[in-house]
Amino acid sequence: MAFTLNCYPVVYRAKYTKEGGWKEEFLEKPHKDPEEEAKLSPADAAALSNSRNFYSDMPLVNYTTQYGLGCFEGVKALPQKNGGLAIFRPQENARRFYNSMEGLCMPPFPKDMFLTAITETVRRNAELGFLPRYKAEWEADSFVSADSIYIRPFTYSEGGIGVNLSYEPWVIMVCTPVSAYFTEGRSDAVVTERIRATPKGTGWIKADSNYVIAALAKHEAAEQGYMECVFLDSQNHTYVEEGSSCNIFFYLKSGELVTPELGDTILPGITRLSLIELAKDKGVKVSERKISIDEALSEAAECFVSGTAAGATPISSLSYRGKKASFTYPGELASALQKKLKGIQYGTLPDSKGWMVPVTG
């Protein structure tokens, strides 16, 4: 299933005005009972899904649609083994969303409002029956095939044309069902010649425009038979920075786990942050530093990418200008971190870190 556009019916929307601040509302889009929707013909299901994705009271021509001026978040709510539903580290998403909006010179969305809105949106949809149910069989593959709710908070600007900033944006939150992100059985990666981010740019912001280059590069990689592409730095084209839409880790033969250090060209991933902490808990030496493509190809025993959708996904090989390095697949460390992360997220392991925010149950 991966990502789908079958949005759940309850949507959160807030509008900022200079005079009145943020005005919030919950919209309940057209829907039937989930059981009834499951029985609809493909055409009827598509029509119902499409009806949830249209808003007649928002401008088509604006700074988001014309220039990509906007930002977004990716958050997951996960069914728990005890029958409940919980969101993974939304406080971190609230912080990053605030920073992204501030970085784009928008009025930033208050963190406390973000947390209340995202929890309430998931709760209201769950009350209508729109939520995944926990399945014990997910435990067999450490939840690689498990379902969850993907929550997408994003900004949308007021109407306008001509290059400008957004001073009175909307913040919208929608929920969709999601499963495994990467295609099973494809795990090779290739270094792209494209540039994702430049110094003094927006690489550190989860900005809409950042993902255009990523989409092109990943499409080119897929056409060559690769699952993923990897970006190098823009100045030297020497140092590894990110995957197409995820952070990247290399577990070196020396026992050091390396991930590129944060800066204005690297997105501060929340899964990245979590895996660093879990690796340190295991006694692994973790370094956030520059790593050249040559070092990665010659010294890495394992490689994996991380993200809200990806979790900790192992990479079996990395190719660059005729060179190819193969890694242990799936690697012992990547597998252990994925198992620990997913165990906490789905409630089969204790949440000693307080990462999960309960919604129901």
Domains of the chain: 10-178 (3.30.470.10), 188-346 (3.20.10.10)
Q: Which long-range contacts (CB under 8 A, 24 or more apart) does 243-246 make?
A: 243/189, 243/305, 243/307, 244/214, 244/215, 244/217, 244/218, 245/211, 245/214, 245/218, 245/307, 245/309, 246/305, 246/306, 246/307, 246/309, 246/310, 246/313
pLDDT at residue 145, as a whole number: 87
pTM score, whole prediction: 0.96
Q: Is 135 a catalytic residue?
A: no
pLDDT at residue 181, as a whole number: 59
- Number of residues assigned to the chain: 361
Q: CB–CB of 280/318 below 8 Å?
A: no
Give the contacts of 135 (CB within 8 A, at least 6 positions apart): 146, 147
From first to last of the 361 residues of the chain, give the pLDDT tens digit. 467 788 999 999 999 999 999 999 999 999 999 999 999 999 999 999 999 999 999 999 999 999 999 999 999 999 999 999 999 999 999 999 999 999 999 999 999 999 999 999 999 999 999 999 999 999 998 898 899 999 999 999 999 999 999 999 999 999 999 986 555 666 999 999 999 999 999 999 999 999 999 999 999 999 999 999 999 999 999 999 999 999 999 999 999 999 999 999 999 999 999 999 999 999 999 999 999 999 999 999 999 999 998 889 999 999 999 999 999 999 999 999 999 999 999 999 999 999 999 999 7
pLDDT at residue 244, as a whole number: 94
pLDDT at residue 185, as a whole number: 62
pLDDT at residue 1, as a whole number: 45
pLDDT at residue 142, as a whole number: 87
pLDDT at residue 309, as a whole number: 83
pLDDT at residue 154, as a whole number: 98
Catalytic residue, chosen from 15, 76, 206, 339, is 206
